[in-house]
Structure 1
Amino acid sequence: MSGMGPAPKPNARRRNATVAMTELPAAGREGAPPPWPLLPDVLLKTQRDTAQRRADDLELSLKEPTLRGRARTAAQRKADAALQEAAVLTAQLDAQERVEAELWSALWALPQAVEWDRAGWTREVAQYVRWKARAEQGDLDAAKEARQLGDRLGLTPLALLRLRWRVSTDEDERAVRPRRRPATSGRRPDDPRAALHVVE
């Protein structure tokens, strides 16, 4: 045919070819989440234990009979500060472990978890959970890491699009089901309105 250009090569790839979307079930992943793969937060535990040891040492030094006056007051202040630091770190650890457990269970019930399971992304999801738990306690650096990992895991609409994942909807399921024939409501077959039907 003239004016249509050369015929495409049989094995050529089109630049604007679309890539098929992976359908994720709207109901999410079924079953229990995988076992938690990461060690406890070693850094936070070490900081907590160090603060507790410092507080214990300072409390012991307060029992010295020779410690009096300003020196005793200074030692008491340091002991109180170390005790407070240990208490805060203990509370942080408890909160982090609770948030990690809740988030871990919730994430593995999402539609994206079907693909994570297939790809074996257990540790990647666990890393996201660890950073997210820290971010929820006010750590801004952890929030940045969590955001980046969340994008890689498909946890935002834009990330889903980049991964070519699509959560199926009720409309998709309805489209697969056979449609009912519309009722003619007693109209004559030659009536042009007989071909009309209500669109859902």
Structure 2
Amino acid sequence: MAGNGPPPKPAGQRRRRNATVATTKLPSEGRKGRPPKWPLMDDVVLTSRRDLALRKADNLELALLEPDLKGRAKVAAEQKADSAREAALILTKQVEAQQRIESELWRDLWKTPQAVMWGRLSWTREVAQYVRWKSRAEAGDLDAAKEARQLADRLGLTPLSMLRLRWEIATDEVSETRQARTKQQERQTTRRRLRVVDSDAAAGGE
């Protein structure tokens, strides 16, 4: 029967079916200012391997100075020393490359729009951990690549994770207006040139 049933809710308590979830707008120009101080120590595993390799190479170099070392024994010792020097050099280069990649990536990440929220949420160490795993991944570590992808999702570095975090990069209206104005000017210039060409063609035909 008409009129039966619970009374309608007040307008302020009604839920709209097409209501949108509020999002946090991030500036399209990214975060301004210098990045935070790097919070992590050097990669303990990699630097320890380098130090051990350097120590081994030094010990083998000293062994080559023994006066009783001759013949095949000396050749074998030289080969071991060469291998040790090569291993130490590779590890040294890896440490240097990782530190360089970490420094560059750390600086670049803190210029992104997402970095505005990282600063508000004090996610400095979380971002540093992503940088550490990402630098290892770029050196060819597949396990590190998996860890880096998981942290990228948590930090909003993928479109899906930004949607999950309800982060949205704000539209740069000034830039869009400037681009639209430039395109309009280009179209007007093209039209003027076409009119000149048509006029010249008509004059030539006469």
- TM-score bucket (shorter structure): 0.7 to 0.9
What is the distance in 2 between the residues matched to 1:146 and 1:87? 27
Instruction: Summarize the Cα distance change of 1:173–1:72 in structure 2 as closer, same or farther, 3 Å threshold.
Output: closer
Instruction: Summarize the Cα distance change of 1:5–1:29 in structure 2 as closer, same or farther, 3 Å threshold.
Output: farther
Deviates most, 123-132 or 18-27:
18-27
What is the distance in 2 between the residues matched to 1:124 and 1:136? 18
Letter of the structure 1 residue corresponding to residue 143 of structure 2: D
The alignment partner of 1:80 has SS state of helix
Report how far residue 73 of structure 1 moved: 2.0
Query: What is residue 46 of structure 2 aligned with on the other side?
Result: 44
Instruction: Summarize the Cα distance change of 1:71–1:166 in structure 2 as closer, same or farther, 3 Å threshold.
Output: same
Deviations 1:118-175 (A, max 9, x none): 0000000000011111111111111111111011000111111111111011359989
Q: How does 1:38-117 map to 2 (within 5 A)?
A: 38-117=40-119
Q: How does 1:110-189 map to 2 (within 5 A)?
A: 110-171=112-173
Which residue, out of 18, 24, 42, partners 1:22? Answer: 24
Letter of the structure 2 residue corresponding to residue 80 of structure 1: D
What is the distance in 2 between the residues matched to 1:5 and 1:83? 87
TM-score (norm 2): 0.75
Report how far residue 68 of structure 1 moved: 2.4
Instruction: Summarize the Cα distance change of 1:2–1:143 in structure 2 as closer, same or farther, 3 Å threshold.
Output: farther
The alignment partner of 2:139 has SS state of coil
Deviations 1:38-60 (A, max 9, x none): 00112111111100110111111
| Higher helix content, 1 or 2 | 2
Letter of the structure 2 residue corresponding to residue 70 of structure 1: R
What is the distance in 2 between the residues matched to 1:72 and 1:15? 84
5+ residue gaps, structure 2: 178-206
Aligned residues: 175
What is the distance in 2 between the residues matched to 1:98 and 1:33? 16
Deviations 1:8-45 (A, max 9, x none): 69979899965311111101111110000000112111
The alignment partner of 2:168 has SS state of strand
The alignment partner of 1:74 has SS state of helix
Letter of the structure 1 residue corresponding to residue 163 of structure 2: L
Query: What is residue 192 of structure 1 aligned with on the other side?
Result: none
Deviates most, 90-99 or 162-171:
162-171
What is the distance in 2 between the residues matched to 1:108 and 1:117? 9
Identity of aligned residues (%): 63
The alignment partner of 1:27 has SS state of coil
5+ residue gaps, structure 1: 176-200
Note the aligned Cα RMSD (angstroms): 3.0
What is the distance in 2 between the residues matched to 1:69 and 1:20? 79
Instruction: Summarize the Cα distance change of 1:173–1:83 in structure 2 as closer, same or farther, 3 Å threshold.
Output: closer
* Structure 1 ranges of 4+ moved more than 3 A: 1-18, 171-175
